[in-house]
């Protein structure tokens, strides 16, 4: 397979290690000037500085000159609702008139509007649409992303969405990690029978998803008017019993206690966390749960920003993701998330880099192989139109990616 030598890296910036970084370590970024990276068969062989090895022509290595630019690991988007039919631009007017996200959902819009469009779309149509989104993500520097179901909300329709994720794996450069989110909303058929839907999830959907190997994670939207704490616990425990690791949309709008539950269950990550309490943060620290913050959603909803500094002080690793979805974050731009994390979550550029690389990889169970530039890891990286890390957290609204390398291949 291809051998690649990337030379003339002005600044190589990367976290190091094979697990999520918390506290002060979240800001520990290795910075190498005048660096090079040698990769073979998609894996990094060596990272060094100064004179690169084997630069003579004919040695079998493709040479990529980074032109003195910044190089970081490929970005990881650890929370996306990638697969859905339609969009929801028709809700913008209501939103501008002051209707909240939960009011739109309670009136049968929101997730339920996307439910109709997703059920109406074929697997091939959904695959083509998600593929276009993945291409855009890749253009922003994302080489690994999580993708949730949750717009089918019946056994067959959830399986259809998860098959779309599987269809996309290996057929285009970005890598995907699949999450079952049957507990995203109550479908119209179960509007008056929440118990019936929770049983359908636990007795039919989770066993079928697990048996088909269609997801690694089980997630729940634990929120007022959606899934209660009690229902969330039952569903996540059932997922765990079937080998699906836990994630939870927790304490986004109301502090129901999702963060406590996440810590108690040893969930891999809890998401949003805008309204998290001290107790929730403590529980997550104890349980080793990663805080996956989604500041572009705060931006779009006009909501507060999650207390990133509190998580860092409490020793909870912070990851950052887009939350790409048609309702609360119709954007695929993880670079914008990095800007917002600095400006609104008060994270340093170094902490932000760890959050969108190594900690994001840990949030999708890939920290051993992805998320940093070091020997033995995947050769997934970004060459930036930038000289340093501050620059990419400071400029916003432009795509600053020059070249994305995925598995040792420029894409
Ligand atoms: O489609 O509204 N927050 N789920 C929870 C979403 C946003 C996705 C949506
Ligand atoms: Zn979400």
Q: How far apart are CA 365 and CA 7, in angstroms?
A: 30
Single out the residue of 84, 96, 93, 106 nearest to residue 223, CA to CA. 106
pLDDT band at 60 (very low <50, low <70, confident <90, very high): confident
Flag whether pLDDT at 266 surpasses 60: yes
Does the global pTM surpass 0.85?
Answer: yes
Percentage of residues in the chain with pLDDT exceeding 70?
Answer: 99
Q: Is the model more confident about 326 or about 1?
A: 326
Q: Which ligand is nearest to the CA of 221?
A: 1
The architecture (CATH level 2) of 75-363 comes to Alpha-Beta Barrel (3.20)
Single out the residue of 112, 62, 64, 104 nearest to residue 86, CA to CA. 112
> Which of 83, 325, 326, 331 should be mutated for ligand 1, with most atoms under 8 A from CB?
325
Q: Is the CB of 328 under 6 A from ligand 1?
A: yes
Flag whether pLDDT at 411 surpasses 70: yes
Average pLDDT, the chain: 97
Q: Which ligand is nearest to the CA of 294?
A: 2
pLDDT band at 354 (very low <50, low <70, confident <90, very high): very high
- The alpha carbon of 219 and the centre of ligand 1 are apart by a number of angstroms equal to 12
The pLDDT tens digits for 68-119 are 999 999 999 999 999 999 999 999 999 999 999 999 999 999 999 999 999 9
Which residues lie near ion ligand 2 (Cβ < 5 Å)?
A: 323
CATH topology of domain 3-73+372-410: Urease, subunit C; domain 1 (2.30.40)
Flag whether pLDDT at 1 surpasses 70: no
Q: How far apart are CA 20 and CA 213, in angstroms?
A: 25
Tokens of 42: 């998609």
55-59, 77-81, 197-201, 227-231 — which is least confidently predicted? 55-59
Is 20:363 a contact under the CB 8 Å cutoff? yes
Single out the residue of 278, 173, 191, 259 nearest to residue 220, CA to CA. 259
Q: Is the CB of 326 under 6 A from ligand 1?
A: yes
Is 55:63 a contact under the CB 8 Å cutoff? yes
The pLDDT tens digits for 134-182 are 999 999 999 999 999 999 999 999 999 999 999 999 999 999 999 999 9
Q: What is the per-residue pLDDT for 56?
A: 65
195 burial type by CB count under 10 A (0-12 exposed, 13-18 middle, 19+ buried)? exposed
Q: How far is CA 358 from the centre of its chain?
A: 12
Which ligand 1 atom sits nearest the alpha carbon of residue 110? 2
Q: Is the CB of 81 under 6 A from ligand 1?
A: yes
Q: Is the CB of 113 under 6 A from ligand 1?
A: no
Number of Cβ within 10 Å of residue 266's Cβ equals: 13
- The alpha carbon of 296 and the centre of ligand 1 are apart by a number of angstroms equal to 13
Single out the residue of 89, 90, 87, 171 nearest to residue 128, CA to CA. 171
> Which of 85, 119, 247, 328 should be mutated for ligand 1, with most atoms under 8 A from CB?
328
Q: Evaluate whether 3-73+372-410 and 75-363 have a shared fold.
A: no
Q: What is the per-residue pLDDT for 61?
A: 85
Flag whether pLDDT at 54 surpasses 80: no
302 burial type by CB count under 10 A (0-12 exposed, 13-18 middle, 19+ buried)? exposed
Q: What is the per-residue pLDDT for 2?
A: 80
Which ligand 1 atom sits nearest the alpha carbon of residue 88? 1
Q: Is the CB of 150 under 6 A from ligand 1?
A: no
Whose Cα sits closest to atom 2 in ligand 1? Answer: 327
341 burial type by CB count under 10 A (0-12 exposed, 13-18 middle, 19+ buried)? buried
The pLDDT tens digits for 182-204 are 999 999 999 999 999 999 999 99
Average pLDDT over residues 276-283: 98
pLDDT band at 219 (very low <50, low <70, confident <90, very high): very high
Q: What is the per-residue pLDDT for 53?
A: 82
> Which of 90, 104, 184 should be mutated for ligand 1, with most atoms under 8 A from CB?
184
The pLDDT tens digits for 10-37 are 999 999 999 999 999 999 999 999 999 9
Q: Is the CB of 221 under 6 A from ligand 1?
A: yes
Please state the domain extents for the chain.
3-73+372-410, 75-363
- The alpha carbon of 328 and the centre of ligand 2 are apart by a number of angstroms equal to 8
């Amino acid at each position: 397979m291809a051998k690649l030598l990337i030379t003339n890296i002005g600044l190589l910036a990367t976290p190091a290690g094979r697990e999520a970084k918390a506290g002060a370590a979240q800001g520990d970024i290795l910075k190498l000037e005048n660096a090079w990276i040698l990769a073979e068969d998609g894996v990094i062989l060596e990272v060094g500085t100064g004179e690169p090895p084997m630069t003579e022509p004919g040695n079998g290595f493709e040479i990529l000159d980074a032109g003195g630019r910044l190089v970081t690991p490929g970005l990881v988007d650890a929370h996306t609702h990638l697969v859905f039919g339609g969009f929801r631009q028709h809700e913008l007017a209501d939103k501008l008139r002051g209707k909240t996200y939960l009011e739109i959902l309670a009136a049968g819009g929101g997730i339920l509007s996307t439910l109709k469009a997703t059920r109406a779309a074929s697997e091939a149509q959904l695959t083509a649409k998600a593929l276009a989104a993945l291409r855009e993500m890749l253009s922003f520097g994302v080489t690994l992303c999580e993708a949730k179901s949750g717009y089918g909300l019946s056994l067959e329709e959830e399986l259809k969405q998860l098959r779309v994720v599987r269809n996309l794996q290996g057929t285009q450069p970005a890598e995907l990690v699949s999450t079952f989110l049957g507990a995203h909303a109550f479908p119209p058929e179960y509007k008056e029978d929440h118990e019936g839907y929770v049983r359908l999830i636990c007795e039919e959907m989770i066993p079928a998803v697990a048996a088909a190997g269609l997801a690694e994670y089980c997630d729940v939207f634990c929120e007022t008017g959606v899934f209660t704490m009690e229902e969330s616990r039952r569903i996540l425990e059932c997922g765990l019993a079937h080998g699906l690791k836990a994630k939870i949309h927790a304490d986004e709008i109301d502090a129901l206690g999702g963060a406590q539950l996440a810590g108690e269950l040893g969930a891999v990550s809890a998401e949003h966390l805008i309204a998290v309490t001290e107790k929730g943060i403590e529980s997550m620290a104890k349980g080793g749960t990663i805080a996956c913050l989604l500041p572009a959603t705060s931006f779009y909803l006009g909501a507060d920003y999650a207390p990133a500094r509190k998580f860092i002080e409490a020793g909870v690793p912070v990851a950052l993701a887009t939350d790409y979805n048609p309702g609360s974050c119709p954007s695929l731009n993880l670079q914008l998330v990095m800007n917002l994390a600095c400006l609104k979550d008060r994270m340093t550029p170094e902490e932000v880099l760890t959050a969108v690389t190594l900690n994001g990889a840990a949030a999708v169970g890939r920290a051993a192989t992805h998320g940093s530039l070091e020997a033995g890891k995947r050769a997934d990286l970004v060459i930036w139109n930038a000289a340093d890390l501050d620059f990419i957290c400071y400029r916003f609204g432009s795509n600053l990616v020059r070249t994305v390398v995925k598995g040792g291949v420029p894409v």
